[in-house]
Structure 1
Amino acid sequence: MPASSHPPSPASPLEDDNLLPQILLRLPPDPSSLPRASLACTRWRNHVADPGFRRRFRLHHRRNPPLLGFFDGCGSLDFMPTLEAPDRVAPERFSLQRDEGDGVCRPLGSRHGLMLIIVPKRLQVLVWDPFTGDQHRLDVPPGLTTNGWDERLINGAVLRAAAGDSEHFQVVLVAADGGQENRRAVACVYSSETGAWGGFITTPLPNHGHASSLFSRYSTSVYMDHAVLAGDSLYWQLIGNFQGILQFDLERQMLDVMPVPVPIYSKGNCFKLMRAKGGGGGIGFLFMSNSNYIAQLWSRKTDADGVASWVIGRSIELDKLLSLRSGKENIRIVGFAEDNNVVLMDMLRGFFMIQLDSMQFKKLARPKAAVSCCHAFESVYAASSTYILR
């Protein structure tokens, strides 16, 4: 009998066990994926329950984490879920355990499954993992709150130290000098690997800005909104008598300042930093006017001579997209999810999420309290058992 006529030999349990983790690794990064897989059979449950597998699952999907929801950025830290059941994370699942005497805590932003929170009363920042509840408290480095700075003018960002490192993290704190002389921005970096803050990194601040700004008579400060990570740099908005963008290059450990072609804050306008379209590593922003409901997506381009300039890449007619009544809606951009390219807008009819690539939108329930700033929580939940899903 020819060899080809023999039936194939069944795979050995060892071969199946080697192949199964690779299959499970490719499940979608939805919160319900691994809990559901663990219910299939004992063998699947054993693989999913392995801490090493869960770590690889998080790393495999790190570049496309789902948008689980938004945290209120005004101090309450209430969580607003964005997914539907069975992937919806109940708000009570993410509850920060505060120490007595912490007082009001203000979130500065989240990234890579971690939330950065400032505790003004203690002059500390808190790195919080909402899934595990783990907390790391860091004293704000001495000197960051001198020369007119105080805790209200400090902003920052948290990120994992490296793509394959799920244990260590970095914190970058920034502030802008409020004085009229020796005007500068300053940054300081903490590494959990060394357990120490580095030295201060500074850059001068210009003395001019858009005269039409609501804040032009105030000293320059780093706006309370979260940072955007684009390429190897973090970016924050600067407001006051200079309006622009503060850039911190993570690789070169350098600060830089760039102007913007529009007034960041003027009556009836909204401004939100985001990654440039296409994900090529550059920074962009969305500028919107309530007078005509047109949102412009700008990006930073560099020509052949190395000269950088801002260009409008796209305009979105929000009145047509959302069926707005002319002059009847006051729209505010209150949040942005950098990995999913989603903006969160506050309108009279509720909160709307708009996916800027597909232009699909979804309405969310309006929070009970007024919200002026929200921080997106984009992360891969890699638990082996079902948690609070409704």
Structure 2
Amino acid sequence: MARRSGGTSPAAAASLPDDDDMLREILIRLPPRPSSLPRISAVCRRWRGIVTDAKFLRSFRVHHRKPPLLGVFQNIIGRIVFTPLLDRPDRIHPQRLDLGRYSGSYSCALLDCRHGRVLLEDLDRHALVVCDPITGEQRRIAIPSELKRGYLEGAVLCAARDHGHVHGGCHSCSYKVVLISTARDDIQCLVLCVYTLETGEWGNLISAEAPYEHFYSDTLATLVGHCLYWCRGDHILEFDLDSQNLAVIMGPPVTDDIYDENRLIIHAMDGAVGIAMLSDPHLQMWQRNVNVHGVSTWAPWKTIEMRTILGLPSQVEAQVGGNKFIRGYEYDEDIGIIFLQVGNSVYMVQVNSMESTQLYDTLAGYDHHPFRSFYTPGELVANP
């Protein structure tokens, strides 16, 4: 029998995707901005059921890989402040990512921010606090007595290592805290310790020796591959999370007098370790190369004149000691962005394209800890 014109055979009909499956494939491609899924969920009950399903949310995060940059956390005169960076309707009210009693406290220090978590030091209790601003969860961790009070630096990172895992939406996953300081009884000895949530305990102390002046600075840790790096003047601290080895390595052979806060560990080409050094009017970048014998050398990567960075002002009005005030803050390792303060304004500079975006104005220099996280529908509140 001839088929009716325009008809579909049972076999062809069986091969067509389900309507909900097609809709999921469409919705999963929405931008990962905070307003995307809540707006779609308001269309109808069917769409809400799809975008609030846990399996869909996991697929949504895997598809996009990189969570959006919601804002930055800063320690301003002892108070932890969240500054949103997105425009409405994606702008997150600062109180929505409030850190509870630690936001208004003058006795805490902001140490690190990574993988959707914030690491604080409670100076009154001599303890660390790991905060998840999305869920509001907080955990206090006692600091090992072997570490010197007042000379602490740390890093927090997700402990998940499985293939395909996406950071920034892993609120239920375990995490690690890496704490580094000088020894209480020996300022020539650097001491590092790792806390794992799964065990609830600190691991063994790991130590290394280096000149005292390279132990403490305001630079923040950068994660490159499975290693954490801190700049210390002419030296760099390298901690291998897999081998648990702490090493002090020499930085690039630079003769310019560059402050520690203007030296940032960055991602160079092919996953190599790089360093960006800001010495107005130039931004110098070096790459570390390691040969088959394990010998490492530094090679110049690129040198950029500050005035050629798209979006930066050609002249800076603010003067500090008669010099233009240009200061490096932080490197966003997820998407390769350097935060710079130029005069009274804070900019984001993309390392690869050298394009910049002005974020906001500030009256003083404070560290900027970028906060990235996916924002699911049930966690969205009205914008101010």
Q: Could you say which TM-score interval applies, normalised by the shorter chain?
A: 0.7 to 0.9
* Contact 1:269–1:289, Cα closer than 8 Å, also in 2: no
The structure showing larger relative contact order (alpha-carbon pairs under 8 Å, at least 6 residues apart) is 1
- 1:66-124 Cα deviation digits (max 9, x unpaired): 22221114532212222222222232322111279965211111111111111121111
Aligned match of 1:15: 18
Give yes or no for the alignment of 1:352 onto 2:347.
Answer: yes
For 1:342, the equivalent position in structure 2 comes to: 337
Where 1:121 maps in the other structure, the secondary structure is: coil
Show the 5 A alignment for 1:222-371: 222-239=216-233, 243-261=234-252, 266=257, 271-278=262-269, 280-290=270-280, 293-321=281-309, 322-325=312-315, 329-367=324-362, 370-371=364-365
RMSD: 3.1
In structure 1, what is the Cα distance between the partners aligned to 2:129 and 2:306?
38
Contact 1:274/1:285 (8 A) holds in 2: yes
Percent identity (aligned): 36
1:323 to 1:385, Cα distance in 2 relative to 1, 3 A? closer
Are the equivalent residues in 1 in contact too, given 2:278–2:284 (CA < 8 A)? Answer: yes
Q: TM-score, normalised by structure 1?
A: 0.83
| Runs (4+) off by over 4 Å | 2-5, 8-14, 99-103, 177-181, 262-265, 267-270
Q: CA separation of 1:179/1:315 partners in 2, compared to 1, >3 Å: closer, same or farther?
A: farther
Alignment of 1:141-290 (within 5 A): 141-144=144-147, 149-150=148-149, 152-163=150-161, 164=165, 166-177=172-183, 183-205=188-210, 207=211, 219-239=213-233, 243-261=234-252, 266=257, 271-278=262-269, 280-290=270-280
Q: Which runs of 5+ in 2 are unaligned?
A: 317-321
Do structure 1's residue 107 and structure 2's residue 113 form an aligned pair? Answer: no
Which position in structure 2 is the counterpart of 1:44? Answer: 47
In structure 2, the residue matched to 1:213 is none
Give the number of equivalent residue pairs: 365
Distance, in Å, in 2 between the alignment partners of 1:14 and 1:276 is 42
Q: Any idea what SS the aligned residue of 1:122 has?
A: coil
TM-score when scaled to structure 2? 0.84
Deviation at 1:142, TM superposition (A): 2.4
CA deviation string 1:7-37 (max 9, x = no partner): 4777899933345444433332222221122
Partner in structure 2 of residue 212 of structure 1: none
Structure 2 vs 1, CA of residues 101 and 38 (structure 1 numbering), >3 Å: closer, same or farther? closer
Deviation of the 1:5 alpha carbon: 5.1
Aligned-residue offset at 1:339: 0.7
- Look up the match of 1:214: none
Consecutive unaligned residues in structure 1, runs of 5 or more: 208-217
Alignment correspondent of 1:70: 72
Q: Which amino acid aligns with 1:6?
A: G
Match of 2:319 in 1: none
For structure 1, which segment, 263-272 or 163-172, has the greater mean C-alpha deviation from structure 2 after superposition? 263-272
**Alpha-carbon deviations, 1:148-202, whole Å to 9, x = none?**
x22x211111111114464211111111348777x33221111111111111112
Letter in 2 for 1:174: I
- Separation (CA, whole Å) in 1 of partners of 2:139 and 2:258: 40
> Which residue is 1:215 aligned to?
none
Secondary structure of the residue that 1:273 maps to in structure 2?
strand
Q: Please say if residues 102 and 108 of structure 2, whose CA atoms lie closer than 8 Å, have aligned partners that are also in contact.
A: no
For residue 88 of structure 2, the aligned residue among 85, 88, 101 is 85
Deviation at 1:372, TM superposition (A): 2.9
Structure 1 residue 329, shift from structure 2 partner: 3.0
User: Do 1:244 and 1:264's aligned partners in 2 also have CA atoms closer than 8 Å?
Assistant: no
Q: Distance in 2 between matches of 1:64 and 1:271?
A: 26
Does 124-133 or 261-270 show the bigger shift? Answer: 261-270
